[in-house]
Amino acid sequence: MWRAGRVLTVAERSTVRFCSSNPLKPSNSSSSFPRPQAEKQRRKREREKAILSSQHNAQDQAKWTEKEAVAYTAHTPPGIKKDTSLPFPSSYSPDYVESSWYQWWEKEGYFSPEQHEKLTHAVDRTFSLCIPPPNVTGTLHLGHALTVAVEDALVRWRRMQGCRVLWVPGCDHAGIATQSVVERRLLREQGKQRQDFTREEFLQEVWRWKNEKGEEIYHQLRRLGASLDWQRACFTMDPAFSRAVTEAFVRLCDSGLVYRSEALINWSCALQSAISDIEVDSKELSGQTMLSVPGYEHKVEFGTMVTFAYPVEDYIAVSTTRPETMLGDVAVAVHPDDPRYQAVHGKQCRHPFTNRLMPIITDPMVDMQLGTGAVKVTPAHDHTDFLLSQRHSLPRITVIGEDGTMNSHCGQWLEGVKRFDARQRVVDALTERKLFRGKKDHSMALPICSRSGDIIEPLLKKQWFVRCGKMAKKAIQVSLTSEQIFHLNTSKSEVCNVIDWCISRQLWWGHQIPAYQVELPDSPAKQEEWVWGRSEEEARQRAAVKYGVKPEAISLTQDPDVLDTWFSSGLFPFAMLGWPQQTADLQHFYPNSILETGSDLIFFWVARMVMLGVELTDQLPFKQVLFHSLVRDKHGRKMSKSLGNVIDPLDVIHGISLERLQEKVKEGNLDPREQAVAMEAQKDFPKGIPQCGTDALRFALCSHKMQGEDISLSISQVLSCRHFCNKMWQTLRFTLGALGDGTASVEALEELHPLSSMDRWICSRLYSTVVQCEQNFEAYELHTVTSALYSFWVHSLCDVYLVRNVHTLQHGNRARQVACSVLYHCVSTSLTLLSPFMPFITEELWQRLQPFRPQTAPAAASLSLQPYPTSSQLAHWHFPEEERDFLLVQEVIRVARSLRAQCGITKEKPASESFYLYISHISPKQTISHNTINTID
């Protein structure tokens, strides 16, 4: 369910809006789909055209040569610390570096908040958050990897600061997705439908599948280095979590916030269930389009508008994209000011097939400028018409059944006919009666079930709903009076427009609704009476009190429906901690410190967590919210299974061949066009994806600005971070070589005072880097932190300090001892600064550096528990004048090199006096000698 954004903090008083979840409308009106969606479709077509025409930018393709893989072969049982005393390999290899460390961290309990008590630098501060629980059916893609990389960087940073940290892993049971997967598996392997099993038997099959296949995501999270507390892993169908879901439903019912009512809902005929708005995709059609629909042998026509007439005095013509629904028409509506229809106001027309009299009503909602200016009203199959029926007290006649066939209200000639087959029959019958007025192309948005590919059918059904408006107002009021939470800024009109939330799903896998239909000895046959309870016994006692009868006289039948998956996931921040029980975890870690997720979940998950948290715990569920941008492919497309462009992070970590990438596309069951686009897009990886490793992937993801435009991640970017890993590796090889002869002992950081100008400069650069990390970590500007760390290591430490200081580091004297100590602390401190982003390589290199650390400096067993460097520790290394002067020198050198090249200056052709005079004018405060300029390499 992971699905970006600005940081919301108290000081900034930033906002998050409750969005109105308006149902998609496959309406019979001629209104066009909102322009933003049309723009998305246009951009999608342009991207597909560019991909299919092979307009690939060769410069963006990952340039790489196969690297020799070095394996860590020492016998190390799982959970045993890796042996870093072995010879140091000559080059960086992710396979070697990432072996064994995670199992050791996990076994030692380094990710548990209980580890806090053992920290020598512990502070009385708590940091807690939950991972957005992914669907148990799926696998993670690079969008999920971004979430993991960002959250783990924050978690490891806070843990190293000495905070008591809890990061809870979890999986969502994903009702529709999981049930669909298991149903397909049973049909493929046993040739059986779900209905061939009892409910209990089918649920056993689902649990069997979950236990076999449901751990893949946890494997991926471990492989990504996520420092989660696995002992507290939470699955939304666990017994304790299920009790929390039942408790929440009962409390909301008792408060009048959950009710049962008849309303229009999104219905998937293929799934035989109501579905959430987020599970509805919209397909933009520009005109007549033939589409494949589940359950139909031939393609079905969409994107046309049929016009037909109802007789009234003369005739009144109406238009619709769904002529099969006209069997459910109950009225014709016109605008009250439309001059064409003034004479028919208040009159009636007769339905040609049902003989039903239908009023001609007036309503300002009707657009006079579109179509004929008159619209058919079908309240049971259209959201707009449903609103008209409420205002004008019109009947609602359902003519399409749950299975997508026409029902008995249509007459024998259509009963049992599939809805889209009935479409042509209706047109033929209208033609026969001389009521057909024509058909033309019509642009429209077609709502499609993302799970089954079926066309959504708005159906009128009795379901359970949550009153969101009242809960939203309360949540906003709490946020306005809270001093420790982000500010929810929403206008009154927006709050009022938050529609009620349908939480019923006609599935077997999920939390069965704890509501019971009551049957009393003398109750009317068709009258529904409902009670709810934490158990059937509690519900029986409630019914006995409510109806004044003895408990044994009551017959109860539990609602077979289950709750929407988003209902249970909305409880995650507190249910994962043991709510409704007042557990120690709930007392210590609730409210969560932060929620980090994608902004596309603002309404479907974030707002619902806020509303449910306030209602059930009287507290906002988290103190801050951090939204990240979406990860897109290099063509700007959102990563989606339906597009075949999803990249498994493990394929980037381990590498994958082009052939295997193409096999994965073919396994995705895409339609022919999408598969063609996906296969062509694989040309972005002409040699497959190289092995990049976890550290490189995480660093690349965190190097993008999270709060801004979406992230278009290319493999070239990740590969450049792999090169950075090799740079770190070679730097440590050099450092160990400088320290290895034992003639220069490392001095303690607090006692070390650099001697040379170069030493003072690199020490001050390290201090400034630590300051940047402090400030930008606090602001959640992780891309600025990674940029500062990369710049220090590559451009300052390697390109300048090591190059210019080689001689000093290799000759035994006092200057060498100081320089070696400076180098040690620069490398050790930098590894510590980088650890939240690159946990594997930093642990490997830091451990190899430990034999040389000053004996007076205590060290943790793992770098993950080492105190995070602070500027106060390095205050004595701050030499601003050295940094300022060095920047000036660097600029002079840059200009001098450029001028030397332009003037053709060589050793044989020395520079003239005017050349030096020009250089001195560039920097009047800095004396640059002729010799300095002439010796620039």
Confidence of residue 921 (pLDDT cuts 50, 70, 90): low
Confidence of residue 83 (pLDDT cuts 50, 70, 90): very high
CA distance 877 to 222: 38
What is the predicted pLDDT for the residue at 860? 84
pLDDT at 808 over 80: no
755 vs 523, residue with greater confidence: 755
**SS3 (DSSP) at 171:** strand
Q: Which residue has the tokens 């600061």?
A: 161
User: Which class would CATH give 126-258+470-511+561-628?
Assistant: alpha beta
**How long a stretch of residues is the chain?**
937
Mean pLDDT on 754-773: 94
CA distance 722 to 772: 23
233 vs 860, residue with greater confidence: 233
pLDDT at 569 over 60: yes
Confidence of residue 253 (pLDDT cuts 50, 70, 90): very high
895-916 pLDDT per residue, tens: 766 766 666 666 566 656 555 5
What is the predicted pLDDT for the residue at 715? 85
Provide the 10 A C-beta neighbour count for residue 683.
12
Terminal alpha carbon distance of the chain = 55
pTM equals 0.85
Confidence of residue 542 (pLDDT cuts 50, 70, 90): very high
The CATH number of the structural domain formed by 736-887 is 1.10.730.10
CA distance 836 to 160: 9
Computed from CA positions of residues 512, 513, 514, 515, in that sequence, does the dihedral angle turn out positive or negative? negative
**SS3 (DSSP) at 437:** strand
650-697 pLDDT per residue, tens: 999 999 888 887 777 776 655 666 666 666 666 666 778 899 999 999
CATH superfamily, domain at 304-442: Valyl/Leucyl/Isoleucyl-tRNA synthetase, editing domain (3.90.740.10)
> Where are the chain's structural domains?
126-258+470-511+561-628, 304-442, 514-558, 736-887
CA distance 537 to 558: 12
Mean pLDDT of the chain: 85
CA distance 124 to 122: 7
Element (H, E) at 308: strand 304-312
Q: Using a pLDDT cut of 70, give the percent of the chain over it.
A: 81
What is the predicted pLDDT for the residue at 108? 96
What is the predicted pLDDT for the residue at 776? 96
Mean pLDDT on 252-278: 93
pLDDT at 8 over 50: no
Element (H, E) at 465: strand 457-466
Instruction: Tell which residue, 382, 402, 256, 389, has the closest CA to residue 326.
Output: 382
Mean pLDDT on 540-567: 94
Mean pLDDT on 302-324: 93
What is the per-residue DSSP string for 872-920?
A: GGGGGG--HHHHHHHHHHHHHHHHHHHHHHHHT--SSSPPPHHHHHHHH
Give the number of C-alpha atoms closer than 13 A to the C-alpha of residue 429, restricted to the C-beta side: 17
Structure tokens given for 204: 């056993």
814, 831 Cβ separation under 8 angstroms: no
pLDDT at 287 over 50: yes
31-75 pLDDT per residue, tens: 333 345 455 556 666 655 665 565 545 444 556 677 778 899 999
What is the predicted pLDDT for the residue at 59? 42
* The one-letter amino acid at 14: S
Provide the 10 A C-beta neighbour count for residue 525.
5
pLDDT at 574 over 80: yes
Angle at Cα 626 formed by Cα 625 and Cα 630, nearest 5°? 135
CA distance 164 to 172: 26
What is the predicted pLDDT for the residue at 905? 63
Distances (CA, A) of 564 to 498, 689, 714: 18, 38, 36
Structure tokens given for 751: 């006692």
What is the predicted pLDDT for the residue at 924? 45
Backbone phi and psi for residue 332, each to the nearest 5 degrees, phi listed first: -120, 135
**Pairing, β 164-168 against β 126-130:** parallel
What is the predicted pLDDT for the residue at 932? 43
Lowest mean pLDDT among 276-285, 831-840, 916-925: 916-925
